[in-house]
């Protein structure tokens, strides 16, 4: 693409999965290096189990490329080994590339895939046009232009399979149900938090993974302009039969699985008619009767946490903070998320049903681990009744209670709900993010011993804050009746024209002296509003913790709020940013002190909190 600057590949890590193909693997690695992947970011996972070949393998690789030798536990296991390898280096990767040992890239394929992902916010996976050489004619044919599921039986199949490359008409990236795993690029957070299932061993694990990601709102794209050659003989008959059953099981497609004998009979007939070959019949039958089908398998040495987020709209950032904090402490996590009714068109009943389905999925994932594993829920859908639900569905789990005494009416916080939870759900862990919330929980659930853990926090990102003649002082977040409007009006009277006073958030009334933008703010815009502010004011009379305050420190933006609250922990007791609300000019003095500080003060606060959060959450996960 002329005139297009190739993306920086410095934060792309890549794995080449090698199994008994010394003749091709060095060329595959060389092709990736030629595409711009750094040798220090490249790993070969060799599961050949041939120690005698190791010197030759290593001699053929460029300096800086590492090799890890593993027993052959399949394609997904090799990917999971690579994820752990790169995560141990750091967690700032942007993209993760997977290649099998025989592929060759056409010039520019990797930058094209990375660029397409960067330009498609809701995509987690990008795959190229895969081509191969037809054995009969010697011509180059399309192997896959991305994958789809057939209409009625939902069978995985390739677009344009065996077609001519010149007949492909698409230009820009196209949505697909899945892409072939021979060569694929993932966004790092998506593959880190959603591991491929090792139970498949070979074939269809990428299909299941991409469909699982799609169910969580993360799409897959085919990038026509990225072309990669591969050698493939298709799916062996045993794994075709066994893994088709396994794919249906993972997708809960019980009714469609009844058609599997017809599908297998069709494949056997095709082999007999086209190739005059009966050898596939036996493996197909063995794959069909292979029992039992295994549960989800993701093997690791390090702890694992399944994060269930029933507020996929409101708490998307919180779930990301939690996953990132766990990851920094060496804990693997996977996010199971569904949107709440206010962020989707679903009914409350459908939301509860989806929540229960997430819990079942999380339980299955936890049971598949070979290391310590647990479930955590980010928000109670049914108030204290969630403790009963978790006890029945998961057996043992933890739940974060952000607001144990909601300002607005909510289901499941009454006396009866508390008594039921206390009587029958004491094995469920209850987590609070502030001593104030913990005190209320002790009153509501006297037999529970809640655990106090810091609000999780993303690694700090330095904000590019523009210089303004009049600095921006902002209030961010939706209006609730505990907001101190009188304090805001005093701030306007005392600061006046020295700053731009702005309130942005749903439901706010007019506030004298402030510009009010009373609307819902999307995540990306909220990040910009935080980064561009000099000081963010937390004008709450009553609160248990402030997610906005944490987000501000993530971007080195200072916050001002009342003392005697959870902000004492975040900012430090006696901080000049804390407000004595009994003083008439307490708010203004704290704001002016914030305006006089530079970013280094916020950076220090963020580093201290992040370090504490990583250590405490790591200890919790190990327990």
Judge whether residue 461 has pLDDT over 90.
Answer: no
The DSSP-derived string for 334-395 is EEEE---GGGSS--HHHHHHHHHHHHHHHHHHHHTBSS-EEEEESS-TTTTHHHHHHHHHTS
Q: In the block, which residue shows the tokens 């043992």?
A: 396
Q: In the block, which residue shows the tokens 């006396």?
A: 415
The residue among 16, 45, 617 whose CA lies nearest residue 333 is 617
Q: In the block, which residue shows the tokens 């709102």?
A: 217
Question: What band does 3 get if pLDDT is binned at 50, 70 and 90?
Answer: very low
Residue 174 token pair = 């196209």
- Alpha-carbon span 299 to 189, nearest angstrom: 19
Question: What band does 523 get if pLDDT is binned at 50, 70 and 90?
Answer: confident
The residue among 265, 205, 272, 276 whose CA lies nearest residue 235 is 205
pLDDT at 518: 94
Cβ neighbour number for residue 551 with a 10 Å cutoff: 24
Question: What band does 370 get if pLDDT is binned at 50, 70 and 90?
Answer: low
Contact between 193 and 316 (Cβ < 8 Å): no
**pLDDT 10s digits, 186-244:** 999 999 988 999 989 889 999 999 999 998 889 999 999 999 999 987 788 898 999 99
- Alpha-carbon span 492 to 470, nearest angstrom: 14
Angle, helix 599-622 to helix 547-554, in steps of 10 degrees:
120
Residue 482 token pair = 């505990």
Return the half-sphere exposure (C-beta side, CA atoms, 13 A cut-off) of residue 286.
9
Interval 530-536 mean pLDDT: 93
Judge whether residue 371 has pLDDT over 60.
Answer: yes
Angle, helix 385-393 to helix 348-367, in steps of 10 degrees:
40
Task: Return the DSSP state at 51.
Answer: G
Task: Return the DSSP state at 540.
Answer: B
Return the half-sphere exposure (C-beta side, CA atoms, 13 A cut-off) of residue 387.
26
Query: What ranges make up the beta strands (E) of 235-313?
Result: 304-309
Interval 508-515 mean pLDDT: 95
Task: Give the Cα-Cα-Cα angle 117, 121, 125 (nearest 5 degrees).
Answer: 40
- 123 three-state secondary structure: strand
- Alpha-carbon span 594 to 591, nearest angstrom: 5
Q: In the block, which residue shows the tokens 């009844």?
A: 258
**pLDDT 10s digits, 86-118:** 988 888 899 999 999 999 999 999 999 999 999
- Alpha-carbon span 598 to 600, nearest angstrom: 6
Judge residue 543's burial from the number of C-beta atoms within 10 Å of its C-beta, 0-12 exposed, 13-18 middle, 19 or more buried: buried
Q: In the block, which residue shows the tokens 């410095």?
A: 10
Burial per residue of 174-199, b for 16 or more beta-carbon CB atoms within 10 angstroms, e otherwise: eebbbbbbbbbbbbbbbbbbbbbbbb
**pLDDT 10s digits, 39-54:** 999 999 999 988 899 9
- Alpha-carbon span 111 to 12, nearest angstrom: 10
Q: In the block, which residue shows the tokens 């750094």?
A: 38
The residue among 599, 459, 466 whose CA lies nearest residue 532 is 466
**pLDDT 10s digits, 552-592:** 999 999 999 999 999 999 999 899 999 998 888 999 999 99
- pTM, to two decimals: 0.60
Q: Which of 125-129, 474-478, 517-521 has the highest mean pLDDT?
A: 125-129
Query: What ranges make up the beta strands (E) of 507-555?
Result: 515-517, 535-537
Contact between 399 and 429 (Cβ < 8 Å): yes
**pLDDT 10s digits, 388-440:** 999 999 877 999 999 998 867 688 889 999 999 888 877 889 999 999 999 99
pLDDT at 427: 82
Residues 6+ apart with CB under 8 A from 84: 300, 301, 302, 332
**pLDDT 10s digits, 257-307:** 788 899 889 888 888 887 677 778 888 898 888 876 776 666 555 788 999
Cis peptide before 228 (omega within 30 of 0): no
Contact between 590 and 578 (Cβ < 8 Å): yes
Q: In the block, which residue shows the tokens 């926090």?
A: 457
Judge whether residue 464 has pLDDT over 70.
Answer: no
Return the half-sphere exposure (C-beta side, CA atoms, 13 A cut-off) of residue 246.
28
- Alpha-carbon span 1 to 111, nearest angstrom: 11
Residue 477 token pair = 């977040």
């Amino acid at each position: 693409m002329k005139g297009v600057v190739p993306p920086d590949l410095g934060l792309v890590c890549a794995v080449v999965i090698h199994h008994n193909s010394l003749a091709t693997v060095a060329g595959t690695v060389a092709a990736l290096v030629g595409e711009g992947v750094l040798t220090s970011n490249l790993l070969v996972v060799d599961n050949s189990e041939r120690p005698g070949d190791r010197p030759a393998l290593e001699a053929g690789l460029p300096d800086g490329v590492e090799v890890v030798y593993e027993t052959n536990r399949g394609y997904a296991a090799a990917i999971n080994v690579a994820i752990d390898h790169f995560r141990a280096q750091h967690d700032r990767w942007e993209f993760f590339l997977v290649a099998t040992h025989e592929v060759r890239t056409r010039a520019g394929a990797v930058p094209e895939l990375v660029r397409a992902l960067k330009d498609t916010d809701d995509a987690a996976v990008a795959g190229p046009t895969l081509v191969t050489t037809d054995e009969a004619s010697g011509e180059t044919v399309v192997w896959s232009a991305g994958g789809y599921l057939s209409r009625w039986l939902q069978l995985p199949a390739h677009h344009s399979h065996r077609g001519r490359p010149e007949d492909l008409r698409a230009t820009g990236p196209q949505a697909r149900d899945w892409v072939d795993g021979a060569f694929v690029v993932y966004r790092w957070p998506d593959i880190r938090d959603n591991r491929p299932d090792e139970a498949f061993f070979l074939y269809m694990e990428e299909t299941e993974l991409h469909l699982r990601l799609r169910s969580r709102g993360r799409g897959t794209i085919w990038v026509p302009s990225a072309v990669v050659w591969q050698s493939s003989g298709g799916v062996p008959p045993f794994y075709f039969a066994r893994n088709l059953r396994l794919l249906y099981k993972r997708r809960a497609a019980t009714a469609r699985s009844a058609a599997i004998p017809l599908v297998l009979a069709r494949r056997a007939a095709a082999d007999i008619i086209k190739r005059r070959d009966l050898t596939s019949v036996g493996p197909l039958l063995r794959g069909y009767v292979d029992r039992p089908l295994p549960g989800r398998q993701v093997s690791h040495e390090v702890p694992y946490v399944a994060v269930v987020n029933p507020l996929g709209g409101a708490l998307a950032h919180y779930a990301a903070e939690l996953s990132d904090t766990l990851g920094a402490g060496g804990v693997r996590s996977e996010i199971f998320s569904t949107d709440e009714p206010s962020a989707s068109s679903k009914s409350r009943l459908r939301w509860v049903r989806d929540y229960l389905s997430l819990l079942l999925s999380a339980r299955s994932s936890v049971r598949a681990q070979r290391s310590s594993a647990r479930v955590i829920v980010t928000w109670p859908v049914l108030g204290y009744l969630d403790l009963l639900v978790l006890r029945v569905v998961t057996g043992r789990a933890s739940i974060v209670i952000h607001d144990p005494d909601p300002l607005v009416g909510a289901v499941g916080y009454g006396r009866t709900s508390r008594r039921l939870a206390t009587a029958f759900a004491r094995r469920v862990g209850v987590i609070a993010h502030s001593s104030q919330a913990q005190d209320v929980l002790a009153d509501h659930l006297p037999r529970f011993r809640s655990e106090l853990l810091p609000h999780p926090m993303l690694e700090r990102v330095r904000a590019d804050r523009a210089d303004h003649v009049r600095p921006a002082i902002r209030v961010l977040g939706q209006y609730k009746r505990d907001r101190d409007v009188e304090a805001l009006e005093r701030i306007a009277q005392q600061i006046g024209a020295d700053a731009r006073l702005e309130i942005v958030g749903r439901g706010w009334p007019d506030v004298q002296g402030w510009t009010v933008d009373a609307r819902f703010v999307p995540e990306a815009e909220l990040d910009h509003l935080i980064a561009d502010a000099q000081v963010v004011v937390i004008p709450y009379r009553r609160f248990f913790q402030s997610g906005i305050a944490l987000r501000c420190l993530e971007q080195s933006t200072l916050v001002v709020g009342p003392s005697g609250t959870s902000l004492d922990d975040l900012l430090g007791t006696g901080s000049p940013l804390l407000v004595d609300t009994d003083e008439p000019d307490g708010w203004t003095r704290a704001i002016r002190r914030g305006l006089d500080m530079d970013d280094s003060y916020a950076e220090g606060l963020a580093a201290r909190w992040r370090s504490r959060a990583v250590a405490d959450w790591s200890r919790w996960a190990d327990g």
